[in-house]
Structure 1
Amino acid sequence: MARARSRSLLLGAPAVSMGPPRAFVPLLLLLLGTSGFFQSDAVEVDLKDGANATCLYANWMMKFLITYETNSSDYKNTTLNLPSNVTHDGSVCGSDTQAALLAVQFGQGHSWSVNFTKTNETYQADFVTFTYNTNDTTVFPDAKRKGPVTIVVKGTMQPVQLNNVFVCHNTDFLDAESVTQIFWNVTVQAFVQNGTIGKKESRCHADTPTAAPTVPPTVANVTTASTTTASPAPTTAPKPVENPETGNYSLKSGNKTCLLANVGLQLNVSQDKPLLININPKTTRADGACGNTTATLKLNDGNSTLIGFTFVVKNVSKTAQKFYLKEVNVTLLNRLNGSVISNADNSNFSKWDAFLGTSYMCQKEQTLEISDNIQIHTFNLWIQPFLVVENKFSTAQECSLDDDDILIPIVVGAALAGLIAIIVLAYVIGRRKSYAGYQTL
C-alpha cells in the first residue's frame, strides 16, 4: 500500500520559515526584479510495505528544461513542470537483495524514477530515469520526433548512513542528452527501518548544516555599484573584474565530436545595480544537440545560470553555405529554491558567421545583447558547430576586431598612396602651367 500527495508551492516564497541571510537580500531582490515567479508543485510519496509500515519516503520539487527538434529542423527549448496530479505506480520498497525504486508518472505520458541500493551501513541513488513524451503538444508543439524519449543518468547523491534522512534544499542539476533536470527542497529516505523516518539528517554539499537554506548563488566574480557616500574615511576603488577563464566545450553525436567551442563567458545583469558574473568552466557542463542545419550548445554552470547558443546554416550561393549564431537564451535560477529568476532570449542574431567546414575565431571581447537587462561578453572565442573532423578545429575565419595588427600597415599604405597621388597631381599641374608660357611658331 502506498500514499502519495502533492501540494502547490509558490517558488518565490521560502520553503522554510527562515529567510535568506541579510547580506544576500539585496542581491536576491536585484535578481528577482528582472522577472516574476511561477507556479510549480511539490511531490510527497510515503511508500508502505505489506505490514503498512513506511519503507520509503520522499518529498521533493523538480522540473525539466528540454531541447527538442521541430519539423522545420530548428531546435526549441521548453520547460516541463510537475502538475498537481502525480501517480507513483511501480514504486518498490527494496530489500537487502533488491533495489528500492521511487517512480512517478505525470502529464501526458511523462515519468521519472530513481533506484536506491544499500550496503550494510549506507544507501545511495544509482540511476535516474526520465521519460518525456513529445506527443504532448502542449509542451512540445511541432515536435519532429513523436513518442516517448528516455534519458538515463547516473545519480550524484553521496552515500547516506542507514536510518538517516537525505536533505538538500539548494538546487541540484543533472544534464544529459538535451535535458536538464532541476531538483530542490529534497527530503528522501530509502530502506526506512521499522516504519520510522529517521531524525538525523545527511545534508548535500550545497546546504549548510543549519535547518534552512542559507547558501547564496555562487558566482566567480560579482561587482555592485556602491551607493554609500556619507563616510569621510578614505575608500579604495572597487577591484576590476578580471576576464573570465576560457572554457573548452564539446558535443558528441554517437562516438564522433560534432561541435567544438573555446570561450570565456561573462554575464552582465543590469537592473538598479550592475552585476557581473564570470562563468567558471571548471564547474560548467556542456550539453546540447547537433544536426545537419541546426546545432545547440547548452552550458550549465552548476549553480544558477543556464546559457544556450543556437547555430544554423544558410545558403550564400548555389555551391557555398555558411553557419552563424542565430539565438541565445539565458536562464537565471534562484539556487535556494530552483525558481526561475529571469529567462531572456534573443533569436534575431546574425553573428559569428563562417563558411561551413571552417571555424570562427574572435580573441577580442564581444558583447551579445540578450535583453534590456542581460548581456553576454565573450572572450577568446573559437567555435565550430558543424563538420568537425578528428576532434580538431578547422581553418578559422577571424573577426574584424582581431585584425587591428594589419590596420596600421593598411592605413600607412593608404596615406603613402595618397601622398604620392598628391605629388603626381602637383607635378602635372606644374607642367601644364609651364607649357602655357610658350607660343607656337
Structure 2
Amino acid sequence: MVCFRLSPVPGSGLVLLCLVLGAVSSYALELNLMNAENATCLYAKWQMNFTIRYETASKNYKTVTISDFVNATYNGSFCGDGQNGPRIEVQFGSGFSWTVNFTKQVSTYSIENISFSYDTRDSTTFPDAKAKGVFPVHESVALKIPLDDIFRCSSILTLEKSDVGQHYWDVHVQAFVQNDTVSTKEFLCDKDKTSTTVVPIVPTTLPSPTTTPTPKEKPEVGSYSVKNGSNTCLLARMGLQLNLTQDKVTSIINIIPNTTNSTGSCHPQTALLRLNSHNIKYLDFVFAVKNENRFYLKEVNVSMYLVNGSVFSFANNNLSYWDAPLGSSYMCNKEQTVSVSEAFQINTFDLWVQPFSVIQGNYSTAEECSADSDLNFLIPVAVGVALGFLIIVVFISYMIGRRKSRTGYQSV
C-alpha cells in the first residue's frame, strides 16, 4: 500500500508510509519507507531542482528549470534485500525520472550513485528541441556515512554533467534505519561543517544592538514572469527589500533585478514565483485561490547564503496578503511590508502582480491596495479644498474691488 498526501498511486508491494510532497512548500519531499514487517527501513527528506540546457532546431540554446514535483510517483522505491541495497525512485512531469542507490558496508553506508533522465520529446517543456529522445545522466557519489547516523546537508549541493545541473539542499537521509527508529545523531556534509555561525549577507548593519535597520535607498523595480509552455501564466512587477534580523542586528538587502532569475509554476489552485540570485538560493512567493473567486499570497519561503557560507532558511505557509478577485491583478504603489516572521520581513514597492488568469501576457484591471485607495481619495479632496479656498479669495477680492469702485464715484 502506498499513501500520499496528494494522490494515491500504485506501489511496488512495500509500504511508503508518508511520502509528503510539498508542492506548495518549496517542493520538499519526505519519505518514510517501511518494509514487510511494517518497520521503517529508510527515511529521507530533501529538496531539489534541475536545470537542463538543450539545443533547438534553430541552433540556439535554451535552459529550462525543473522544480515541479506535484504529480510525482514513486514506483520502484524499496528497502533492499540480500542482493540489492535500498533505492529511492521518483517519476515526475513528462518523462522525468530520478533514482538514488545506497550500499552498506560493515559500519557505514553510502549514497552510491544518482541517476536522472529527461525526455526532450515533451514539446511543452522542451519547445523546438533539435534532438528528440530520453537522455540519462549518471553521477557517482560514493559518500560514506556512519551506519547509525542520519546524513544532513542544509547547504546546496550541485552536480553538473552533460548540460544538466542537479541541485539538492535541506537533505536528511538515513538509508539503513535500525530498530524502526530514525537516528537523531547527524553526520554533516562538508559545507555544513564549516557553516555553524549565522552572519548576515550584506554588511549593512547597525553599529549597536538594535532591531531598527539603517535606512537604505528604495530598491529597483523588476519585472518577472512564469510560463506554462509557451503562454505566460504569472506576472509580477515589484521592488523588493529584504530585512533579516539575527542576534538583534538587522541587515537590509535590496533585490537587484538584473542579477535575479525567475522561475515557477502555475496550477489551477496554486501558483509559484521563485526568485534566485548568487546569494539567494530561492525566494518563493506562493499564491492560492480561496472561495473559488479570489486569490492571495499564502506562503513565502526563503533560503539564502550568509557571508560565511551558512544558510538562513525560513518558511511561512499561513500568510494572507495581496488579496484580489480572480481575473484581476493586485496593485500597491506605496510601500508594503510582508511579515514572514519576527526575524524576516519583505518590503515591497510599486507592486503589481497577477498569478492567475493572465490573458495574452497582459495584466488585467487592478484592484488597488487600501493605501493607494486612501491616496486616490485624498487627492480629489485636497484639490476640492484648494479650489474652494481659491473661489473664496477671488470673491473677497471682487467685493473689495467693487467697494473701492463705488467709493470713487460718490458725488461731492
* Larger RCO of the pair (alpha carbons < 8 Å, separation 6+): 1
TM-score bin, normalised by smaller chain: 0.3 to 0.5
Provide TM-score, normalisation by structure 2: 0.48
